Amino acid sequence: MTINVLTLFPDYFTSALESSILGKAQEKNLVKINIINIRDFADDKHKTTDDRPFGGGPGMVMKIEPIYKALESIGAKKGQANAKIILTSAKGKVFDQKKALDYAELKVLTIICGHYEGIDERVAENLIDEEVRIGDYVLTGGEPATNVMIDSVARLIPNVLGNKASSEDESHSKTRKFAPPTYTRPEEFKGWAVPKVLLSGDHGKIEKWRQEETH
């Protein structure tokens, strides 16, 4: 799978995408993540990517031209098969586990990081497949939301997690909403003990307990 990220702040992603599971997934060529600097596609010498809104109002608005050219440079177009272009937006659809599963089936996922007071509405109208938000709150930009989505999607790609069951039998999965409690050694700490059933070795009883404890 290829994930393209269009952003004004490419350095934001350096640590997060090179660490832990995401870093290993890229090393194994299970996922390719391209960070594209929108400023590289600005025409003027100052690399201007925003301007004042028509009709007045506070803040600045991201321009359509650099975004259009950035998408064009990677051959990304609205409505392509096995691909999606999404825009992080406070008015977008809520990103959830179902969307993560859907996105993980794609060949190419392109994410545009929103910023400032917004993006020229013609981007949403003509260049993308959908607008997405990660919650009902406002961020300083789309970069944090993009990191969340990449992490959630990439871990669902086959072989990214060592154990296939890790993504199938967890919180918000197809089979359960919240996973049951888990424990590890020591068996007792400060008088707080692990449930005896988990130490019994009886897999039937353990599975029954886990089903009862699933919310």
**So what's the pLDDT on residue 177?**
63
Q: Give the mean pLDDT of 178-182.
A: 87
Query: Which are the contacts of 163, defined by CB distance < 8 A and separation ≥ 6?
Result: none
Q: Give the mean pLDDT of 182-191.
A: 93
In three-state form (DSSP H/G/I as H, E/B as E, the rest C), the secondary structure along the chain is CEEEEEECCHHHHHHHHHCHHHHHHHHCCCCEEEEEEHHHHCCCCCCCCEECCCCCCCCCEECHHHHHHHHHHCCCCCCCCCEEEEEEEEEEEECCHHHHHHHHCCCEEEEECCCCCCECHHHHHHCCCEEEECCCCCCCCCHHHHHHHHHHHHCCCCCCCCCHHHHHCCCCCCCCCCCCCCCCCCCEECCEECCHHHHCCCHHHHHHHHHHHCC
Q: Answer yes or no: pTM beyond 0.75.
A: yes
Q: Give the mean pLDDT of 65-90.
A: 97
Question: 24: which 2 tokens?
Answer: 């290993």
pLDDT in tens, 95-149: 999 999 999 999 999 999 998 778 999 999 999 999 999 999 989 999 999 999 9
**So what's the pLDDT on residue 165?**
44
Q: Among residues of the chain, what percentage have pLDDT more than 70?
A: 93
pLDDT in tens, 14-59: 888 988 889 999 999 999 999 999 999 999 999 999 999 989 888 8
For residues 148 and 97, the answer to whether their CB atoms sit within 8 Å is no
What domains does the chain contain, in order, with CATH numbers?
Answer: 2-164 (3.40.1280.10), 180-213 (1.10.1270.20)
